[in-house]
Structure 1
Amino acid sequence: MFKKILIANRGEIACRVIKTARKMGIATVAVYSDADANALHVKMADEAVHIGPPPANQSYIVIDKIMEAIRQTGAEAVHPGYGFLSENPKFAAALEKEGVAFIGPPVGAIEAMGDKITSKKLAAEAGVSTVPGYMGLIEDADEAVKISHEIGYPVMIKASAGGGGKGMRIAWNDDEAREGFQSSKNEAASSFGDDRIFIEKFVTQPRHIEIQVLADTHGNTIYLNERECSIQRRNQKVVEEAPSPFLDAETRKAMGEQACALAAAVDYASAGTVEFIVDGDKNFYFLEMNTRLQVEHPVTELITGVDLVEQMIRVAAGEKLSLTQADIGINGWAIENRVYAEDPYRGFLPSIGRLTRYRPPAEARGADGIVRNDTGVYEGGEISMFYDPMIAKLCTWAPTRTDAIEVMRNALDSFELEGIGHNIPFLAAVMDHPKFISGDMTTAFIAEEYPDGFEGVTLDDTALRRIAAATVAMHRVAEIRRTRVTGRMGNHERRVGTDWVVSVDDAQFAVTIAADPKGADVRFADGAILRVESDWVPGQSLAVLSVGGETLILKTDKRTGGFRIRYRGADVTVRVMSPRQAELAALMPEKIAPDTSKMLLCPMPGLVVKIDVEEGQEVQEGQALCTIEAMKMENILRAEKKGKVSKINAGPGDSLAVDDVIMEFE
């Protein structure tokens, strides 16, 4: 077995590999750019080597710099994680030439399967069902439009060397095909150093289901069941689960056997994933093979008990698989939510900055539930604009899917994250969505269910009442604390009122609270009573209460006269008032927001790639105004309505913050 391995990656996956290596007694080497000098993976590793400036094309994907770090530290093997150099055959070949083991598949398998055009041809030759498309190289946008016509819209424009949603666009007409081709080429070139593009039919109403395979160098190949990855945004997975709520045993077996046959055809060894599109009739079509560890591998580990990173290391060391297909079962259900640094209220655009608070739910393992959080950040750390926006992978397991969802809901409610925009409210909303709960979802879930973007969650009356009861009890505790601090004489509890009016955003409840040493009974105007018990004290940002006999977990911030409460995807303002205060509050005028309708504001921190219009130009609704690049993704900002550009305040290369005014209109 290896004594020292180098992880040619960063963030949560580097931390994940370090954990298994440590368990196996293997020393680890981290590499880092200037932006990652204080990163968690650097702190966790036994050694760390600086490899260059923040941009990945000047550090993490420069093969010579990684090779120098290997020579400097004497690492015997390299785990590439995912992204960066993980599917680069030149890197694997360089390691082989140096006599260093690559913890991944052979060069030939990477070349065959890592290139999406080649892999589709090989899959078709192996008898695997494939999606109709054009596998040749496409020279320019005109040819892309012609091919799209031949295939028939809608089409998917994809980077041959792509992954993680980078270099991928859906086109429904000629204009989108032309524009998507150029954007895909640009993203592919900057992210992978390879701008080759191919086009295939976009299958409507699809489910994205993938098979995890594991093979050794002795001819043994097994599959570890499937993962459902249908909930995606911009073709990037957001929620994954294992097993799929859609597959039956027969389809699972057929997909698994095809995946293994494809892996065997290219002499695959290591962990890999064969991705399929599955239609409503359970027909499945080969999409691509990822010759690396997948982001969502933890859900497979949770239902099988197999440490995939450990297996990859053992295979790279020449060991035979100790598992057979008969050893692989399905134990319970697992769900993964990807926590991203992106603002769901601004179209999921990237967010950067310092994590002023980062307190994920405590990891726990029990017979009734597991909480696992794979992360690469810490409180006080910085989220950089140079890398992908993933903060953590929050995973839960339970004996049933229903229970796994409930464990996830509570974990999301307990996840404290401040300082940047993040998608936890959206993830919480998905966990409560009827389509997700029923398992009836496709890759169009987000587009169909949130066509106008995510605008938060509207809580029902039951949830509002529970929050009202909880917060009035919390307010009472805070008021008692306040009277003690001020040093007032007499019975402080008598000074705290019993009649209150609680407003939760637009809802208002008149309540009476009767406290005792163990908690409080909150009576509503209609006579309903909710019992509240908790050990919460003022200043705690997370309140765990029992309300009506059921657990309620609230993220809470003190506000004048009340609280800011976040719960199940909702972000509400709660005011706790005396009846007289409520009377007066009703007379207060509403604050009017400033008018920004004649401005194009930058929706996220990023760099201006290009400005598509000029001052004095008439623009039409939907017309491209400018392109902003953030976290390796190009975002085209379009006109919301017809107008005339009066002033342009930014140009290509400018670095902008959120809400900077890019241009103004008459």
Structure 2
Amino acid sequence: MFDKILIANRGEIACRVIKTAKKMGIETVAIYSDADRHALHVQMADEAVHIGPPPANQSYIVIDKVMDAIRQTGAQAVHPGYGFLSENAKFADALAQEGIAFVGPPKGAIEAMGDKITSKKIAKDAGVNTVPGYMGLIEDADEAVKISREIGYPVMIKASAGGGGKGMRIAWTDQEAREGFQSSKNEAASSFGDDRIFIEKFVTQPRHIEIQVLCDAHGNGLWLNERECSIQRRNQKVIEEAPSPFLDAATRKAMGEQAVALAKAVGYTSAGTVEFIVDGDRNFYFLEMNTRLQVEHPVTELITGIDLVEQMIRVANGEKLTLTQDDVKINGWAIESRLYAEDPYRNFLPSIGRLSRYRPPAEIVTETDIVRNDTGVYEGGEISMYYDPMIAKLCTWGRDRASAIENMRNALDAFEVEGIGHNLPFLSAVMDHPRFVSGDVTTAFIAEEYPEGFAGADLPQEVLERVAAASAAMYRVAEIRRARVSGRMDNHERVVANEWVVQIGGQDFPLTIDADKQGSTVTLGARVMRCTSVWRPGDTLAVIDMEEAGEQSTLTLKVGKVPGGFRIRSRGADLKVYVRSPRAAELSKHMIEKLPPDTSKLLLCPMPGLIVKVDVEEGQEVQEGQALCTVEAMKMENILRAERKGIVTKINAGPGDSLAVDDVIMEFE
């Protein structure tokens, strides 16, 4: 077995590989850019080598720099994680020339499957179902429009060397095909150094289901069941689960056998994933093969009990698989939620900054429940604009799907993140969404259920009343503390009133509260709720045990302070909760609400990023929906469009300018 492995990656996947290597008794080497000098993966590794400035194309994906790090440290093998050099045949070849083991597939398999055009031809020859499309190279936008018309809209425009949702666009019209072709080409060149584009039919209402494969160099190949990855935004997976709630045993077996046949057709070794789109009749079509470890691999590990990173290392060491297909079972259900540095209230735009608070839920492993958090950050660390916005993968397991979902709800409730915009509220909202709970999802789920973007979840009335009761109990604790500090109370708690009105979102909840040393009993209308908690003023997380009509439950709330109450976040809702005396509540209805400033005549930068292109000039009249400029952030291009007809009066930024959130790009008449 290897003595030392270098991880040619960063963030949570580097940390993930280090954990398994340590378990196997293998020393690890990290590489890092200037931006990652204090990163978690650097702290976890036995050694670390600096490889350059923050941009990936000057550090993490520069093969010569990575090879120098290997030589400096004497690493015998390299695990590439995903992204960066993980599917780079030149990197695999460079390692082979120096006798360094690549913890991944051989160069030929990477080349064959890394090119989406070639891979579809090979898949078809191997008997794998494929999607109709144009597999030739496309020279320009005019040809892209012509081909799109021939295939029939909608079409998917893809980078041949793409992955991770980059270099992908869906086009429904000639204009979208033209713009999508150019944006995909630009993103592909920036992210992969390869701007080739192809076009295929976009299957409407599809489900995204993938098969995990594992092969050794001795001709053995297995499929390790499937993962459902249909909850996506901009072709980027957000929530995954294993197994799929949609597949039956016959379809699973057919997909698995085709996936292994494809792997064997290209001489594949190591772990890999064959992705399919599946329609409502369970017809499935080959999408692509990822010749690397997938982001969502933990859910497969949780239902099979197989450590995929360990298997990859053993295969790279020349070992035979000790597993057979009959050894691969489905035990329970697993769900993964990707925590992104993206603000769901600003259309999921990237967010950067310092993590002023980062408190994941406790990781647990029992016979009935598992909570696992794969992360690459820590409290006080920086989220950089240079890399992918994913900062953690929260995974839960249960004996069935309902249990896995409930475990995920509770884990998300307890996950505290402050300092950046993040998608925890959205993830919580999805876990409670009836369509997700029923398993009735497609890749169009987010677009269909949140067509105007995410504005927070609406809690059911019964839950709002529970929040009101809990808030009153917490407020009473805070009031007692304030009274004691001010000297108003001399161990006589009757100074604190027991009649309050809790105001949430325009609703009044009049209630009474009777307390003792163990907790508070809240009466709200016909409901009587007993609240018990160790929460104290200043705590940012409140776990409240509630008893009502003999039923026990737990309510977990993220708690912030606002004048006269709390900012409460729970299950995707972000609420301002005011606890007032009946008289104060009545007077509050006459208070004038402060309105936000009018920014309707300004184009504000919605994210920290770089202006790539400005499409208009001062004095130009623009129409609704017209492209105004392009902003690049976290390796993705974002086209900003006019919301209404108007005239450009001033342009404040041009190509090459770096902007912060809400910087004014241009002004309108």
| Bucket of the pairwise TM-score, normalised by the shorter protein | over 0.9
Find out whether 1:652 has 2:651 as its counterpart: no
Structure-2 separation of matches of 1:449 and 1:252: 28
- After superposition, residues 67-78 of structure 1 pair within 5 angstroms as 67-78=67-78
Structure-2 separation of matches of 1:484 and 1:362: 34
More displaced stretch, 124-133 vs 486-495: 486-495
Structure-1 separation of matches of 2:254 and 2:125: 17
Structure-2 separation of matches of 1:456 and 1:616: 38
Structure-2 separation of matches of 1:492 and 1:296: 56
Find out whether 1:534 has 2:498 as its counterpart: no
Find out whether 1:30 has 2:30 as its counterpart: yes
Partner of 1:565: 568
Amino acid at match of 1:277: I
Deviation at 1:489, TM superposition (A): 4.8
- After superposition, residues 512-591 of structure 1 pair within 5 angstroms as 512-524=512-524, 526-548=525-547, 549-591=552-594
Deviation at 1:136, TM superposition (A): 1.0
Structure-1 separation of matches of 2:227 and 2:450: 24
Contact 2:489/2:495 (8 A) holds in 1: no
Aligned partner of residue 181 in structure 1, secondary structure: helix
Partner of 1:66: 66
Partner of 1:496: 496
Amino acid at match of 1:498: N
Structure-2 separation of matches of 1:492 and 1:370: 45
Structure-2 separation of matches of 1:91 and 1:527: 68
Partner of 1:602: 605
Structure-2 separation of matches of 1:637 and 1:618: 16
Aligned partner of residue 310 in structure 2, secondary structure: helix
Q: Among residues 619, 623, 630, which one is paired with 1:620 in the alignment?
A: 623
Structure-2 separation of matches of 1:15 and 1:435: 34
Cα distance per residue 1:163-221 (max 9 Å; x no partner): 00000000111111111111001000110111111110000010000000000011100
Partner of 1:205: 205
- After superposition, residues 249-648 of structure 1 pair within 5 angstroms as 249-524=249-524, 526-548=525-547, 549-648=552-651
Structure-2 separation of matches of 1:452 and 1:484: 48
Contact 1:469/1:547 (8 A) holds in 2: no
Structure-1 separation of matches of 2:35 and 2:143: 40
Partner of 2:87: 87
Contact 1:624/1:637 (8 A) holds in 2: yes
Contact 1:80/1:86 (8 A) holds in 2: yes
Aligned partner of residue 258 in structure 1, secondary structure: helix
Task: Tell me: CA distance 1:461–1:653, structure 2 relative to 1, closer, same or farther (3 Å).
Answer: same
Contact 2:206/2:442 (8 A) holds in 1: yes
Contact 1:484/1:492 (8 A) holds in 2: no
Structure-1 separation of matches of 2:76 and 2:580: 66
Structure-1 separation of matches of 2:43 and 2:487: 47
Structure-2 separation of matches of 1:292 and 1:634: 25
Structure-1 separation of matches of 2:326 and 2:83: 32
Deviation at 1:533, TM superposition (A): 1.0
Contact 1:480/1:492 (8 A) holds in 2: no
Amino acid at match of 1:22: K
Structure-2 separation of matches of 1:323 and 1:450: 43
Aligned partner of residue 104 in structure 1, secondary structure: coil
Aligned partner of residue 217 in structure 1, secondary structure: coil
User: Over aligned residue pairs, what C-alpha RMSD do you find?
Assistant: 0.8
Gaps of at least 5 residues in structure 1 are none
Amino acid at match of 2:360: P
Contact 1:120/1:130 (8 A) holds in 2: yes
Cα distance per residue 1:524-569 (max 9 Å; x no partner): 1x23211111111111100000123210000001222110000000
Cα distance per residue 1:30-68 (max 9 Å; x no partner): 000111111100010000000011111110010000000
- After superposition, residues 184-223 of structure 1 pair within 5 angstroms as 184-223=184-223
Amino acid at match of 2:37: A
Structure-2 separation of matches of 1:203 and 1:592: 44
Contact 1:611/1:652 (8 A) holds in 2: yes
Structure-2 separation of matches of 1:583 and 1:95: 73
Amino acid at match of 2:226: E
Aligned partner of residue 511 in structure 2, secondary structure: strand
Structure-1 separation of matches of 2:102 and 2:454: 42
Amino acid at match of 1:620: Q
Contact 1:542/1:553 (8 A) holds in 2: yes
Structure-2 separation of matches of 1:46 and 1:87: 25
Partner of 2:666: 663
Partner of 1:128: 128
Amino acid at match of 1:647: K
Structure-2 separation of matches of 1:504 and 1:47: 52
Cα distance per residue 1:122-174 (max 9 Å; x no partner): 00111111000111111111111111111111110001111000000001111
Deviation at 1:479, TM superposition (A): 1.1
Aligned partner of residue 30 in structure 2, secondary structure: strand
Contact 1:371/1:396 (8 A) holds in 2: yes
Cα distance per residue 1:452-508 (max 9 Å; x no partner): 111111112111100000010001111111222223353331111100011112221
Structure-2 separation of matches of 1:88 and 1:409: 38
Structure-2 separation of matches of 1:358 and 1:491: 37
Contact 1:483/1:492 (8 A) holds in 2: no
Amino acid at match of 2:494: R
Structure-2 separation of matches of 1:241 and 1:343: 23
Partner of 1:167: 167
Structure-2 separation of matches of 1:616 and 1:10: 46
Deviation at 1:402, TM superposition (A): 0.5
Amino acid at match of 1:529: V
Deviation at 1:111, TM superposition (A): 0.9
Structure-2 separation of matches of 1:202 and 1:572: 39
Cα distance per residue 1:92-135 (max 9 Å; x no partner): 00000000000000111111111111110000111111000111
More displaced stretch, 328-337 vs 643-652: 643-652
Find out whether 1:145 has 2:148 as its counterpart: no
Aligned residues: 665
Structure-2 separation of matches of 1:379 and 1:492: 40
Deviation at 1:610, TM superposition (A): 1.0
More displaced stretch, 307-316 vs 557-566: 557-566
Cα distance per residue 1:355-404 (max 9 Å; x no partner): 00000111111122110000000000000000010010000000010011
Deviation at 1:328, TM superposition (A): 0.4
Cα distance per residue 1:69-98 (max 9 Å; x no partner): 000000000000001000000000000000
Structure-2 separation of matches of 1:10 and 1:630: 18
Contact 2:475/2:565 (8 A) holds in 1: yes
More displaced stretch, 241-250 vs 475-484: 475-484
